[in-house]
Amino acid sequence: MTLDQAAAYAEELAARPDAERELAALRAQWDDELEAAARNGDYRVRGVAFRALAQFRFRQKLELLRRGLDDDSPAVRGSALIALESLSRDHPGDVNKFRPLLNELASRDRNVAVRRLAIACFKNGTPDPGTIRILDGIAADDEAPAEVRKGAGAVATLLVKKQRLARK
């Protein structure tokens, strides 16, 4: 079984409430291989590793995500962002933990897809006023790609709504 296949199986197990122990055993079995894959010289292998973090629901490996978010390869950064977005759906603190790096990726990454994925991660976080200002700035930037502006505006609007609901 490859890491990719094990991750797909882990995702199936995670969807079943009665399979927690089996998922934990699978995590333990693939722990070292996942770590090695995240440090592999081939960007494709690293990308699989960061996607697998989310599929395994490997919350203990959040710090490993930082490695992916800082990677030279846009494909690896994208995979790490997809993993963070998935892991943070039930844990807004995950976005908060990486907020400065996400702000940088959303504002300045050279790859449009990476910028869009970083922006998408914010929807799962708490409504930070600084992030809302950054997203509003991106949305108003005529030099930013249209899809980046649109995503930033939509997420900024969502965060403002969350902020208003939190005040009630």
Give tens-digit pLDDT for 105-117. Answer: 999 999 999 999 9
Whether 77 and 126 map to the same domain: the answer is no
**Domain boundary pick from 43, 59, 87:** 87
Residue 105 belongs to domain spanning: 92-168
Residues 76 and 122 grouped into a single domain: no
Statement to judge: residues 139 and 156 lie in one domain: yes
- Cβ atoms < 10 Å from Cβ of 52: 25
> How far from 106 is each of 112, 115, 121, CA to CA, in Å?
9, 4, 10
Clarify whether residues 45 and 100 are in a common domain: no
pLDDT grade, residue 57 (50/70/90)? confident
Distances (CA, A) of 134 to 98, 122, 128, 141: 15, 11, 10, 11
Are 78 and 20 within one domain?
yes
Q: pTM for the complete prediction?
A: 0.91
Residue 118 in contact with residue 81, Cβ under 8 Å?
A: yes
Instruction: Compute the average pLDDT of residues 130-157.
Output: 95
Residue 72 phi/psi, 5° resolution? Answer: -70, -30
DSSP state of 56: T
Other Cβ atoms less than 10 A from the Cβ of 168: the count is 4
Residues 74 and 129 in one domain: no
Nearest CA-CA partner of 128 in 155, 88, 89: 155
- What DSSP character marks residue 42? S
Handedness of CA 89, 95, 101, 107 (dihedral sign): positive
For residue 41, how far is the Cα from the chain centroid? Answer: 21
pLDDT of residue 119: 97
Q: Do residue 67 and residue 106 come from a single domain?
A: no
